[in-house]
A and B are shown apart, each in its own frame.
Chain A
């Protein structure tokens, strides 16, 4: 197995959940979610060919995934992007958890968070997603190309915007 194949396997294993969350943040429609997921994996596979290990794999993967997701959004720019919160909340609970009641509650909460995210501009969505995944300001700066101080300001603004959207829709 080549180094690229090893890295790809490791990436799929380690970032499976993170990539699925990124997909859910950028795309609402299930058929397009699958397409985006595949596009991201293909982009990572191609990008790993040029990955020499001189940069952080963690930020490298997030950067490729987010860039691909933004690319996907611009390619499907003519499609409707929002879904009503009621419509979204009525969907079946897909998130796994140990207790069914807790799973249903958690699921509904996270579905609403994802839906609120869809109402935010792309940059805010990207900063929030990356920050929620646990990236530091420095890593956020590497992925987005913004300065660290700018990241701080914009992230606070994004958090406020998320809170406003959630409150306005009684999330």
Chain B
């Protein structure tokens, strides 16, 4: 491309008003843009505090129940709930606080950090999926063992052990499905970032 062609393109480019080429009229309105961004930042902050408070309430409540005079299966269910809530709450706060975000001094550094973060996401998701696969049979075995000790006093199939098992099945199935979905998303992100970094190295 000659210098003249490039200069012409540059002039056209800088004269080009594409602010209204997006589907939203709102984007052309400076005030609306600014307000929308502020509102989004404020909402994120509110959600973060809502997460913190909910996690504290849930963990305190179930923690308290755990040490009261309840049955083993109830203890297992409550422990399962805390097992899910605590890491999810911590992750949510990290995301909303912006601590999970990638900050790079330049694009190359940003890409490298983002690639590392995507890989960490893949590993985290894998660990969660394995945890769900391992924890679920373990809990079922404990429950069945406990149920067998009380076989004379329970009426199958409509009893609390069946309910407890199904409840745990639902929790761990959701956890496994969510983890696998997140893993696929992060894997695609990782591959895309690797490809971009390879282009950088060429």
A residues near B, CB below 8 A? 8-9, 12-13, 16-17, 20-21, 23-24, 30-31, 33-34, 37-38, 41-42, 45-46, 63, 66-67, 70-71, 73-75, 77-78, 94-97, 106, 109-110, 113-114, 121-124, 126, 131-134, 142-146, 159-160, 162-163
The chain B residue sitting closest to A43, CB to CB, is B101
Pair A145/B109 contact, Cβ less than 8 Å: yes
* B185: chain A residues within 8 A (beta carbon): 75
Distance between A53 CB and nearest chain B CB, rounded to angstroms: 16
Residues of B within 8 A of A97 (CB): 17
12 new A-B contacts, CB < 8 A, other than A124-B199, A134-B14, are A13-B30, A20-B17, A21-B18, A34-B22, A67-B107, A70-B196, A77-B189, A95-B17, A110-B12, A145-B105, A145-B107, A145-B108
Given contacts A74-B193, A144-B107, contact A132 B30 (CB under 8 A): no
CA distance A42 to B45 in the complex (A): 13
* A-B residue pairs, 7 tightest by C-beta: A145-B106, A145-B108, A30-B23, A77-B192, A94-B21, A74-B192, A132-B13
| A13: B residues at CB distance < 8 A | 30
* B169-202 residues at the A interface, CB under 8 angstroms: 185, 188-189, 191-193, 196, 199-200
Can you list 11 pairs linking A and B with CB atoms under 8 Å apart?
A: A13-B30, A20-B21, A21-B18, A23-B22, A37-B33, A74-B118, A74-B196, A77-B189, A77-B192, A95-B16, A121-B196
Quick one: closest B residue to A62, CB to CB?
B107
User: Are B23 and A34 neighbours in the complex by a CB distance under 8 Å?
Assistant: yes
CB of B24 within 8 Å of the partner chain = yes
Q: Which residues of A contact B191 (CB under 8 A)?
A: 77
Q: With A123-B199, A143-B106 in contact, is A96–B34 under 8 Å at CB?
A: no
- Residues from chain A with a CB closer than 8 A to the CB of B40 are 38, 42
A110 to B8, CA, bound (A): 12
Complex CA distance for A78 and B14, rounded to whole angstroms: 31
- Cα separation A37 to B20 with both chains bound (whole Å): 12
Cross-chain contact A21 with B16 (CB below 8 angstroms): yes
Tell whether A95 pairs with B18 under 8 Å between CB atoms, given A46-B98, A74-B189, A74-B192.
yes
| Contact, CB under 8 Å: B10 / A38 | no
* Interface bin, chain B: 35 or more
CA distance A33 to B40 in the complex (A): 17
Residues of B bordering A, CB below 8 Å: 1, 5-6, 9-10, 12-24, 27, 30, 33-34, 36-38, 40-41, 98, 101-102, 104-111, 114, 118, 185, 188-189, 191-193, 196, 199-200
Contact between A95 and B21 (Cβ–Cβ < 8 Å)? Answer: yes
Task: A42 to B105: give the CA distance in the assembly, Å.
Answer: 18
In the complex the two chains form, is B19's CB within 8 Å of A17's CB? yes
B22 contacts which chain A residues (CB < 8 A)?
Answer: 20, 23, 30, 33-34, 37
Set A45, A70, A124: member contacting B107, Cβ < 8 A:
A70
Q: A13-B30, A42-B41, A106-B12 are in contact. Are A74 and B114 (CB under 8 A)?
A: yes
CA distance A17 to B22 in the complex (A): 12
Q: How far is the CA of A110 from the CA of B193 in the complex (A)?
A: 28
* Contact among A34, A46, A123, A142 with B27 in the assembled complex (CB-CB below 8 Å): A34
CA distance A41 to B5 in the complex (A): 32
Asked if residues A12 and B107 are in contact (CB atoms below 8 Å), the reply is no
Q: Are A122 and B199 in contact (CB under 8 A)?
A: yes
Cβ of A9 and Cβ of B6 under 8 Å apart?
Answer: no
Residues from chain A with a CB closer than 8 A to the CB of B106 are 63, 142-145
